[in-house]
Structure 1
Amino acid sequence: MSKFDYKSCALPSSTTHIRLLQLRLAEPTTTPKSTTSPSNGSLVCELLTTPIAAPLKFKALSYTWGTAEKTSFLKLNRTQLNITPSLHTALQYIASQQEDIYLWVDQVCIDQSNGAEKSEQVLLMSDIYRKAEQTLVWLGPAADRSDELMDLWLDIGQKAEKTAGGLESYFTKEKIHRLLEIMESRSVDDPLTEPYHQLVDEARPRFEDLMQAIVDLDERPWFHRVWIVQEVSLCPDTVLVCGHKIVPVDFVRQASNIFAAALKQSMRSNPGISFAQLALQAQSHRLGPLLSTRKRRQRYANSKGEGEELFHLLRKLFVESDTRATQNRDRIYGLLALAVDAEQLGIRPDYTTLNVASIFTHVARAMIRQGRIEILSFSQFPKEKDIEGLPTWVPDWRPNLAPSYYTIFESAEEHLLGASGSTQVSMLPKMVQDVLSIRGYLIDSIEEVGNVWHASDDHASYLHLFKTLQEFCSKSATKDELIYENPLRRAEATWRVPIGDLYWDPEVDYIRARKPLVEDAYHECVKISEIIVAGERQLTAEEIRRSPSGRYRNSMSGMDGKRLYITRRGYLGMCPDPAVAGDSVVVFCGARLPYVLRARGEEDRHTFLGEAYCHGMMDGEVLGRERERTFFIE
């Protein structure tokens, strides 16, 4: 059989038309749908074109390519098109369940060898998934009790929609605290309370029995792909398909809310370590955040809420999250259909250029120009080696980036920090493509740094950090510099610096550190560490966790991977790991945090090192002390 040639099904225009796959089996299936095997019939298909403005009725497929080797094939328009084995398996299952459907599948419907066509078709992804009758999310064949889990999601999801459907209306800034009260107590006087708790009681033993199945499903490759986020979010009617089981994704989201509450109760009544470890794995599954993104997108599509900017999507997927893409540029392109500011940022997919670094640089520059200077916190080192020529200030958006120590929910919280005061981001016109020319203020140069500190270190490491900071405070006091209004303000650095002046309070979330609450918690933290290191007595993990000392230690986690520093004039703070004596602490116009730069030898040329905290310079104090200047960062 001859090889399929896309010229035989050319698009009138790749900006206005798409291809659809007409899918059917060559012969009737003899395999019952209740089994875990697909039909053994061969796939005979046709490929046709349709305008995206008014397409034929079709369904879209979300799946994972698996291996890049295309060792399986379709009989397509009397020719043969090679495809990946994972897609072949998915199409066999779907063909055995749904007769003669039109399907949009990226691997088949886009000429993957044509970079120009691919670039233009990616721009249509939003329309493709929005206009599809249904999106089929193929998770793979049944395995590891997945059939039982799918049945449970379907059952609890349906009941949640009927009996606790009011839950959805409580996910607002005004009512969320009421929902938390309902979840915590059966005695709350609210129509939702009793049906909600009855459903949790019913679901709890069933979810406990299937926690390992949840963990196993979460490890399937589909959950790690960057493209799935838009694929599962855009179409109003989206279903999960696993083997021969099908569950509407919104039922899964409803069931996940019940599961979270049930699991909380389970952990209280099952103190065993092995149960707690398994419960923690099941609780941190990727499906929850993914479905919350879908919910937000659907609300935006129905004019009931705001959408998400590209910055928020990138942070959600690549910061402390293992999201992957076959091509590095797809870390950006895979999210454009969801980003409400994609057009404003001027980002267009380009699969023809070999210079991937230029794509990341353009995106970073565009976001900073729009005021998103906080993306600099995610330019971390070492950079990925296969993105050659990436400037030091540009994030590579690789999986599992470290979080910034300063993160807020902009739609619900007020800002707590503002190092640049009321200034706005100020960039010079682009002189050199890779150089960030930005206005800001030089605070001071670093004189000395401490050891790199990690939140997972032992109590001796905590004590060493506290002692080093006390020594730096003493050195600062000996300098003849009026940088702190009084000695007491300088002394506050001992308990403000280790937490970046942000303290976690269970009643109100994060707050600015204040006396005597945080200062007392700091002293208790020091005392407990001294007791443990000295071996005077053994404290239980519960004692440590529940005390103010435990809250202070928790607040310190934001400084994980940073170093203490003192500047030439006596400023105190925390700086990124690569920083050394001689590097500069700066505040850019429009930035809420300071950053650290390193001079390159040329006048005003620098490399970027990372975010910092500077005691006494987090509320715009720099405006009245330093002269504005331009930094050129390469």
Structure 2
Amino acid sequence: MAASRKRRSPPTSSQPNYTKRTKRITQFHHYEPLDHLQQQIRLLELLPGKPGSRISIKLHTVSLNDNPEYEALSYCWGPPKPSYDIFIHVNNNKDSNTDQLASFPVGRNLRKALDDLRLQSRPRLVWNDAICINQKDNVEKGHQIQLMHQIYSRAAVVCAWLDHNVRPKTSVFDDLESLGRGVELDDFADPEYWYPVADIFRNEYWRRLWVQQELILAAKVDVYCRSDVFSGEQLLEFQQKVNVVKSQRTRLGGPEFVLSRYIDGNTSADPTPEIFGSGVIQARINMREGREAQEAYSLSLSSSSASSTSPPSPSQGFKITRGLLASSLLNLFLQSSSVRMTDPRDRLYGILGLATDIAHDSNLEITYEASPIWVYAQIFRHFIHRYKSLSFLCFNKSNPRGSYTPRKGFPSWMPHADVCWSYVNASRACGEVLATPHVASIDLETQCLHAQGIKVDAIKHICLINGDGRGWTPIPEWLDQIESFCRKTWPDADDSTPLYERDNVTSLMFPCLSPKRYKNMWKLDKPDPQRRIHLIRSLLAAAQKADQKDLSTGDIIRGGYTPTDIIPADVREECHPLHVESNAVVLFGTEGSRVGSMARTSDIQAGDEIWILFGCRMPIMMRPKREEGKGLRYQVIGPAIIPGLMKGEAIKDAEHHGSTVILE
């Protein structure tokens, strides 16, 4: 069978003497210390044995500087209980050739993985975190975490072990071997043909944080479904082809969509969060492109500094590009919200080996003694220092479906799962002159963010259009709601045309994206103001021609209305972004007669203040709070889209000093 192949001959150590037996067995309790300056690690020598027999190992200390040959094990730790003993050969007397056996408790998954990986005729050198790192020594753990990038990238093979049985095998595994080389997912009419392969990715293994780093860094991957071995690259190619649908809103059909939902166990209409981009292969591409982008960015900063006695101008500073962000420490942290981990602090430590914007002299501190909030705050302090930007404040505070770590208890300014980078790129609320924050710092003790900015306006009233948030409100009623909102914002207006046709209102009905991003996401040209009015009028006309009286934007997008020719096909397609955006936001009017929108999940209230913070590209909604002994502090509500403020209009005539604010 092509799917299950012979195991490759692993790197081996010298042949030990297996006839020696210890007379007594003690519990293993002493690790020899590692020399961290020499980049020392431990390797376990997995001694040969028959399946199911007692597992014995030896521990060897080596230096990565000597380029040792070994394999690395990647697996899910699983529950600690019940535990099973394996046995470590220990030589307590250096002058003696006799080893003693010491028992070492491990979880079921590790015991089973070692049993499946070991050979019957020769030993195997393997690195495994649970055994090769002294898990009771937090100092050693901190040093070893810094070596993870090298440990997994230098391993001859990363053995990904899953507690999953693929038997009985079918012809789908033969086709898997040819995927992308003459065979594609849509070659088969029924996507369920691929379910035996998709079942592998339903395993909990793929949703663990440390697994992501281990596979992304690997030079070669073998996937062990218990004792069956599969080509890791072919399985990862399958993952890549399935996950591509998550980044393309328009690909809502076909085998990729069906398989993606099947793997994620998703039966709702909401998309499942992506795990580190579109999978391991895409993450590797992101890391390579990120490394190149970071080198170019550092070079531009160095050139600017060398050619001038003054600091680089803001226009020479941080440009938000996909290359810079994809493998940045901040973006990897945000993506890790949907994966699982045992210790919440590992949300930082489990991605350090992947981040391309961390310098060798980084002041990030690895410690399991600090709180998760303190650990996470380092990420944003690093972002401010590296990019001279506060645009990480442009995030939706709600927890997306599948988010592993809740927001409760964390500072209001701290992103947890997502930053609206597409909207950030289309905005310049702080202009060019103030694109770099004058004052921005994070106090690690209080977890407060200190920044400067200008208060522009405050919220007067709020309007939730399409109360159900699913787009089933009849189109005439939907437009009446928006018109009523506009009349409340501009009570003295006497326009002969509907107020909802004003440019600053129609722009809120469509995604706030750059033309290029709009085209990439929707495969459509971004509509200009006149086109927006035409689309809205076409929707109203369709509602007046339809047989049913309750025709909604949801009906237009999903079809099923009669007669079917009440709206042109191109208009129907262009209304898809309008439908999505209008049902995702809440509208608000301000004391200064401005209109704007925020995410529907935002906890926005009348009286909330609109600020332009220096170094943040979108207007930020904040709520003032006065506490005795603390003075005035602010709670971040989230980013807002406010026509008339998105291109730096509010600060053109303002003094650049601004006010200092404390966000908590």
Same fold (TM over 0.5): yes
* Partner of residue 457 from structure 1, selected from 451, 470, 473: 470
1:328 aligns with 2:344: yes
Secondary structure of the corresponding residue to residue 66 of structure 2: coil
Letter in 1 for 2:28: F
Counterpart CA distance in 2 for 1:384 and 1:242 is 26
Q: Which residue of 1 aligns with 2:208?
A: 225
Cα separation, partners in 2 of 1:379 and 1:72, compared to 1, 3 Å = farther
Task: Describe the superposition over 1:171-221 as per-residue Cα deviations: whole angstroms up to 9, x where unpaired.
Answer: xxxxxxxxxxxxxxxxxxxxxxxxxxx5449x7239845332244222211
Hey, what does 2:529 align to over in structure 1?
Answer: 515
Q: Equivalent residue for 1:621?
A: 649
In the alignment, what sits opposite 1:390?
410
Q: Distance in 1 between matches of 2:485 and 2:360?
A: 46
Equivalent residue for 1:496? 507
Aligned partner of residue 615 in structure 2, secondary structure = coil
C-alpha distance in 1 between matches for 2:281 and 2:361: 26
Match of 2:330 in 1: 311
Q: Which residue of 1 aligns with 2:354?
A: 338
Which residue identity does 1:552 align to in structure 2? C
Q: Is 1:205 matched up with 2:222?
A: no
Structure 1 Cα separation of the partners of residues 526 and 361 of structure 2: 33
> Do the aligned partners of residues 461 and 239 (structure 1) sit closer, same or farther apart at CA in structure 2, a change above 3 Å counting?
farther
Please name the residue that 1:632 is paired with: 662
For residues 334-483 of structure 1, the aligned pairs below 5 Å read 334-343=350-359, 346=362, 348-369=364-385, 370-378=387-395, 380-381=397-398, 390-395=410-415, 397=416, 401=417, 404=420, 406=422, 415-422=425-432, 423-428=434-439, 430=441, 432-433=443-444, 434-451=447-464, 457-460=470-473, 466-478=479-491
Give the whole-Å Cα distance in 1 for the aligned partners of 2:380 and 2:111.
Answer: 38
Question: Is the CA contact (8 Å cut-off) linking 1:44 and 1:75 kept in structure 2?
Answer: yes
Structure 2 match to 1:121: 144
The residue type paired with residue 412 of structure 2 is T
Change (3 A) 1:123 1:631: same
C-alpha contact (below 8 Å) 2:221/2:232 kept by paired residues: yes
User: Pick from 115, 118, 131: which aligns with 2:154?
Assistant: 131
Give the CA deviation at 1:512.
5.1
Question: Aligned in 2, Cα 1:631/1:302: closer, same or farther, shift over 3 Å?
Answer: closer
Q: Please give the alpha-carbon distance, in whole angstroms, between the structure 1 residues aligned to 2:597 and 2:421.
A: 11
TM-score, normalised to structure 1's length? Answer: 0.76
Deviation at 1:554, TM superposition (A): 3.0
- State yes or no: 1:71 paired with 2:88: no
Say whether residues 1:4 and 2:28 are aligned partners.
yes
CA apart distance, 1:81 = 1.0
CA shift, 1:478, in A, is 3.8
| 1:299–1:79 CA distance, 2 compared to 1 (3 A) | farther
Given that 1:446 and 1:583 are in contact with CA atoms closer than 8 Å, whether structure 2 keeps it comes out as yes
Structure 2 residue corresponding to 1:103, chosen from 90, 101, 126: 126
Measured against aligned partners, the alpha-carbon deviations of 1:414-434 in whole angstroms (never above 9, x if no partner) come to x43222221223153648442
Aligned twin of 2:605: 580
> Is 1:571–2:571 an aligned residue pair?
no
Whichever of the two has the greater Rg, that structure is: 2
Distance 2:462 2:190 in 1: 49
Structure 2 CA distance for partners of 1:350 and 1:488, relative to 1, 3 Å: same
Q: Distance in 2 between matches of 1:565 and 1:132?
A: 55
Of the three residues 61, 71, 96, the one matched with 2:73 is 61
Distance 1:209 1:489 in 2: 47
How far did residue 440 of structure 1 move? 2.0
Distance, in Å, in 1 between the alignment partners of 2:526 and 2:649 is: 16
C-alpha separation in 1, matches of 2:407 and 2:261 = 35
Assess, with a 3 A threshold, how the Cα gap between structure 1 residues 512 and 276 changes in structure 2: closer, same or farther.
closer
* One-letter identity of the residue aligned with 2:210: W
Per the TM alignment, residue 447 of structure 1 is displaced from its structure 2 partner at its CA by 0.3
Amino acid at match of 1:579: I
Equivalent position amino acid for 1:4 in 2: F
Distance 1:49 1:455, change over 3 A: farther
SS of the aligned residue for 1:67 comes to coil
Code of the residue aligned with 1:475 in structure 2: it is K
Aligned AA (2:74): S
CA spacing shift, 1:574–1:20, aligned 2, 3 Å: same
| AA at the equivalent of 2:615 | G
Question: Alpha-carbon deviation of 1:258?
Answer: 6.8
Matched residue, 2:574: 551
* Aligned-pair CA distance for 1:59: 0.7
Partner letter of residue 223 of structure 1? W
Question: Distance between the aligned counterparts of 1:405 and 1:453, measured in 2?
Answer: 26
- 1:84–1:279: structure 2 CA closer, same or farther, 3 Å change rule? closer
Q: Which amino acid aligns with 1:295?
A: I
Deviations, residues 469-493 of structure 1 (Å, cap 9, x unaligned): 322322333479xxxxxx9998223
Cα displacement (A) at 1:338? 0.8
CA separation of 1:534 and 1:259: change in aligned 2, threshold 3 A: closer
With over 3 angstroms needed to count, the CA separation of the structure-2 counterparts of 1:5 and 1:402, relative to structure 1, is same
Give deviations 1:232-280, integer Å, cap 9, x for gaps: 12232222222333344333445566778999xxx99x99xx9974575
Change (3 A) 1:249 1:353: same
- In structure 2, the CA distance between the partners of 1:88 and 1:524, relative to structure 1 (3 Å rule), is farther
**Could you say what secondary structure the match of 1:601 adopts?**
strand
Classify the secondary structure of the residue corresponding to 1:121.
helix
Contact 2:42 2:59 in 1 (8 A): yes
1:572 Cα deviation from its structure 2 partner: 0.5
- The 2-side partners of 1:152 and 1:118 are apart by 42
State the 1:228 CA deviation. Answer: 1.8
- Which structure features the higher share of helix residues? 1
Q: Quick check: 585-594 or 339-348, which moved more?
A: 339-348
Question: Identical aligned pairs, as a percentage?
Answer: 18
Between the aligned partners of 1:386 and 1:259, the Cα distance in structure 2 is 28
CA contact (8 A) 2:384 2:390 kept: yes
**Which sits farther off after the overlay, 492-501 or 471-480?**
471-480
- For residue 281 of structure 1, what is the aligned residue in structure 2? 262
Greater shift in the superposed pair: 608-617 or 468-477: 468-477
Counterpart-to-counterpart distance in 1, 2:617 and 2:439: 20
Gaps of 5+ in 1: 30-38, 161-197, 409-414, 481-486
Contact 1:460 1:529 in 2 (8 A): no
Q: 1:584-599, aligned counterparts within 5 Å?
A: 584-599=609-624
CA deviations over 1:12-52 (Å, ceiling 9, x no partner): 33872111111123x3x3xxxxxxxxx22221101121112
Letter in 2 for 1:42: R
* Residue identity in the other structure for 2:116: Y
Q: Which amino acid aligns with 2:76?
A: T
- 1:105-184 correspondence runs (5 A): 105-143=128-166, 150-156=173-179, 160=181
Measure, in 2, the Cα distance between the counterparts of 1:362 and 1:21. Answer: 34
How far apart are the structure 2 equivalents of 1:120 and 1:276?
A: 42
**606, 609, 614: which one pairs with 2:634?**
606
State the alpha-carbon separation in 1 of the partners of residues 365 and 475 from structure 2. Answer: 47
- Determine whether 1:241 maps to 2:224: yes
- 1-side partners of 2:570 and 2:121: how far apart? 58
Partners of 1:301 and 1:491 lie apart in 2 by 45
Instruction: Give the 3 Å change call, closer, same or farther, for CA 499–507 of structure 1 in structure 2.
Output: closer
Residue 88 of structure 1 and its aligned partner are, at CA, apart by 1.2
Q: Distance in 2 between matches of 1:449 and 1:376?
A: 22
